[in-house]
Amino acid sequence: MHYLAEGLRLPTNALDYTILILYFAVVLGVGFAARRSVKTSLDFFLSGRSLPAWVTGLAFVAANLGALEILGMAANGAQYGVYTVHWYWVGAIPAMVFLGLVMMPFYYGSKVRSVPEFLLHRYGQSSHLLSSVIFSVASVLIAGVNLYAMAIVVEALLGWPQWVAIVVAGLFVLAYITLGGLSSAIYNEVLQFFVILAALIPLTVVGLKRVGGWGGLKDSLESSHGPDFTSAWGGTGIGSANPLGANWLTIVLGLGFCLSFGYWTTNFAEVQRALSAKNLSAAQRTPLIAAFPKMFIPLIVVVPGLIALVLEPGIGSEKSGLQYNDAIPLLMRDLLPNGVLGLAVTGLLAAFMAGMAANVSAFNTVFTNDIWGAYIRKDRPDEYYLLTGRVVTAIGVLFGMGTAFIASSFSNIMNYLQTLFSFFNVPLFCVFIIGMFWKRATAAAGFWGLLSGTVAAMINYFWFYKQGVIAIPSDQGANFVSAIVAFVVGGVVMGGVSLFTTPKPVESLAGLVYGTTSPGMAEPPAAGDEAWYRKPALLGWGAIILAALCYVPFSL
Amino acid sequence: MSDEYEYQHQVEELEQKSATAARLFDVRRIIGGLFVIYGIIVTIAGFTASDADLKKAQNININLWTGLSMLVVGLLFLLWMWRRPAIAPEPAPEPPPGPARPEDEAA
């Protein structure tokens, strides 16, 4: 958790506040206007599976572009330099393409309403319940952490007391999701995506002019931090030291494969956006369309981090009183006049709210369908689950607000919790991928694979790394290694358990395992989907090639 | 068909009853509207920019450029919506009674 320094107060005026208030009004208006489209629980949780691909695609990228991500990646830029692009090009694009091309036919085609529900049909109740409970708890806590982080930023930038920010933002999120369900969450995410672009592009342009363009920025950084600081792969040979504390192998396997595939393909807050698309082709294109903006986000997030390092060389040190997380607020204060400044503040607050809303809308779906409706109150009429979804949303937000208040006294615990939950996605991905490609994987294997992989990652991180049993230079490096450990242990345990337990009958796996389709699932292609620019394979491979090309200027 | 696929029928039935496709407004109107309003406000701020504002933004009239760009983006969204309005799907026909359910996927 970060504490923004004193003296970051922005010189906001009435113009800036007009822009901010206008945005809050629109957000609430979207909730009220979306309300009349909510008739069934499917409308509330998955927008009736009816949204167009460009909307779900932009919501997919925006759900990830929360303020913690923006401030955090700018901070990584200032701390680690151009290495930060790995989180985007090797650490996101391949996983997003894999989700769209390989996994989406199983997710969308099997008509499951959530990621845990897929586990229920593929494996059974034990792994379903385990993943539903962990996901629900994690979403609420992460929503709370988001809210708390926002309160700190708002206090530093605008001078609002922390509790005001927590209550205002929490209640706005509560109102618009309870009213309009996922549709209003998604629409606000699309809106937030464009507002955040309108905030960060001017910031980057003015910042680059200040440091003499990209050439000037590169020269200053190379003279102060050495040539590797502006290269993506320089100094990442095995055994050579670099600020990231990782080598090319742990970057590619740990970040690019285990962590990234775990996050992008099994995190329901992301996958939910694709499941709300109107047909299989649109669902497949959701992460593929998202891949293209995702690729260029480092230009307006990591570059400002680098600029901040040139303008304030002491950033991140005790002496300056400035933390790496202050990079973007710092540039806002120094470079933006009123007007654009209001846009930037609005964009940042919008990103905080969208980050929280993504977690809340995923939480209400999993809790209502996969815990309440599956184990506690089964087989009620649909209206009952729609109402439950609304109540659960309100309870989830209130718990999140409570978490935010508690977090102010236990911020270290929150850090640990986040690390801890990040380890759960990797074995989840391992269980998914083996389950989708290996018919023999059994119900027991799913449960034990999930549990053992998670525990193994935690042992590696909290015991081997934190207690110094093995030497890894940085937290990030240790994260990458722990992810690899989680994946390998989960996979080995699954293989072992499967050999000694009875597999599910093949008939019950139709549509859930590679090479099978659900009975009667062949969907007729929608009109217009045969256009070349809507072909998932072309979009997917295009994104991979473009991401590889992005590396070229930073690798020579 | 076994109980295993019961949930799929539930989802199909809910898809039939769903109101989102028919009643949800077009998000392009919101993006377009907000960006036009923001564009106008920020452009005006650009026209009335003080010397201090200009100096702070490295002698770029950043409000003017941002405002005009947002205005253009907003108008493009409205134009797109006007040229290619979203077509609400026709209400799905009632499935015929009987044990053999036909595929009502096309809804």
Q: What is the pTM of this model?
A: 0.90
Question: Who among B24, B46, B70 is closest to A34 (CB)?
Answer: B24
Q: Do B19 and A337 touch (CB under 8 A)?
A: no
CB contact under 8 A, A187 and B23: no
Q: Do B18 and A278 touch (CB under 8 A)?
A: no
Quick check: is B59 in a domain? yes
Rounded Cα distance between B18 and A387, Å, is 16
Could you tell me if the ipTM is greater than 0.85? yes
Closest Cβ opposite residue B27 in set A38, A187, A523: A187
Chain B residue with the nearest C-alpha to that of A346: B38
Average pLDDT in chain A: 88
d(C-alpha A154, C-alpha A173), whole Å = 16
- What is the per-residue pLDDT across B2-11, written as a single tens digit (0 to 9) for each? 456 778 888 8
Mutate which of B14, B16, B20 to disrupt the A interface (most A C-beta within 10 Å)?
B20
Q: Which of A15, A47, A110 sits opposite B20 (nearest CB)?
A: A47
A89 — pLDDT class (breaks 50, 70, 90): very high
Confirm whether B56 is domain-assigned.
yes
Beta bridge partners of A281: none
Rounded to whole angstroms, how far apart are CA atoms B36 and B21? 26
Q: Is A240 on the interface with B (CB under 8 A)?
A: no
User: Do the domain assignments include residue B40?
Assistant: yes
Residue A428 C-alpha from the chain's centroid: 16
In the block, which residue shows the tokens 């393409």? A97
Query: Mutate which of A338, A345, A365, A508 to test chain B, going by most B C-beta atoms within 10 A?
Result: A338
- Asked whether residue B67 is domain-assigned, the answer is yes
Q: Given an 8 Å threshold on Cβ–Cβ distance, is B20 in contact with A519?
A: no
As a whole-number percent, the residues of chain A with pLDDT over 70 amount to 94
Residues 150-169 of A with CB under 8 A from B: none
Q: Does residue B29 fall inside a structural domain? A: yes
Convert the pLDDT of each residue in A377-424 to its tens digit: 888 999 999 999 999 999 999 999 998 888 776 656 656 666 766 678
> How far, in Å, CA of A318 to CA of A329, rounded?
18
- Distance CA(A24)–CA(A19), nearest Å, equals 9
CATH top class, domain A14-419+530-554: mainly alpha
Does a structural domain hold residue B79? yes
Name residue A141's amino acid: L
Element holding B7 (H helix, E strand): helix B6-17
B102 touches chain A (CB under 8 A): no
pLDDT of residue A482: 87
Q: Which of A12, A27, A35, A43 to mutate to test the interface with B (most CBs of B within 10 A)?
A: A43
| B22 vs A473: CA distance, rounded Å | 56
- Domains: count for chain B: 1
Which position has the higher pLDDT, A532 or A114? Answer: A114
Report the DSSP beta bridge partners of residue A51. A277
Q: What angle do CA A222, A225, A231 make, to 5 degrees?
A: 60
The reply to whether B38 falls in a domain is: yes
Chain B residues within 8 A of A205 when measuring between CB atoms? 60, 62
